[in-house]
Amino acid sequence: MKLRDAGEYLLCMVFPERCIFCNEVIEPLHLACDACMADMHLILPPSCPYCGCHEQDCRCAEHRHCYDNVVAPFYYKGAVRSGILRLTKWDDPRAVDYFAAQMTAAIRREYPDIPFEAVFYVPMTKGDQRERGYNQSQLLAREVAKRLGLPLQHHLIKLYQTAPQKQLKLWQRQGNVLGAFGVTQLLEESHVLLVDDLLTTGASMDECAKMLKLYGVTTVTALTAALTPPDKGDE
Ligand SMILES: [Zn+2]
Ligand SMILES: [Zn+2]
């Protein structure tokens, strides 16, 4: 064992490494437990550009969103579901790093030809962010932007607090976020990425994409760590 490894090993004994998905204590220098590694639901190509699901899972009759396309590396199931829930409680940089790397790989694979100019993220209100201490969508967007060599933009803001989307029925969600987002200045970018941790109905993404376009953007590609599988739309 090298000296550096020995140091890391000692550190891990004092602060044990935890699985980035389920938070169980795991072996030092590992990222996830075996059970979680075996419970990942990757969205493999070919995927539907409009709902982001694998083509065989696609249920979209028509494209009715303000964003132009959706990319996500995972379905919101199993380990990834736990991992995304965990990300709302702990801003674990290893988890952020892992998801951002998978998101970056997915966007590079699906849209290598779109000349993205900036990365935006779905914002929280100042009060909500103060309470939590961070916005996980912003953390993911920052890492994705770094990996793609693009600027991270903070011009999208949340104007007022809304009821948590997951507490509402699907049909209530669009109305809940209507008018909740604003943009602080005219935008010069044509093609942008809009990052969130999770896409369910896409209501928040839609509202944010609508605002970005009102302020000058031409195309918005939604990029999330995970999306709800078509049969689990009510989660
Ligand atoms: Zn685990
Ligand atoms: Zn589809």
Q: Which ligand is nearest to the CA of 20?
A: 1
What's the pLDDT at 13? 59
Residues 107 and 71: beta-carbon distance below 8 Å? yes
> Separation of 35 CA from ligand 1 center, angstroms?
6
Tokens encoding 163: 């009821």
Residue 51's pLDDT band, with cuts at 50, 70 and 90, is very high
What's the pLDDT at 35? 97
Distances from the Cα of 213 to the Cαs of 67, 93, 206, in angstroms? 9, 31, 11
Average pLDDT over residues 174-197: 95
Q: Which ligand is nearest to the CA of 62?
A: 2
> Separation of 37 CA from ligand 1 center, angstroms?
7
Average pLDDT over residues 22-29: 92
Q: What is the DSSP letter of 57?
A: G
Query: Which stretch of 54-58, 120-124, 219-223 has the lowest confidence by average pLDDT?
Result: 54-58
> Separation of 134 CA from ligand 1 center, angstroms?
23
What's the pLDDT at 170? 80
Separation of alpha carbons 193 and 11, rounded Å: 37
Is this model's pTM higher than 0.85 or not? yes
- Domains of the chain as residue ranges with CATH: 1-38 (no CATH), 41-232 (3.40.50.2020)
Residues 199 and 224: beta-carbon distance below 8 Å? yes
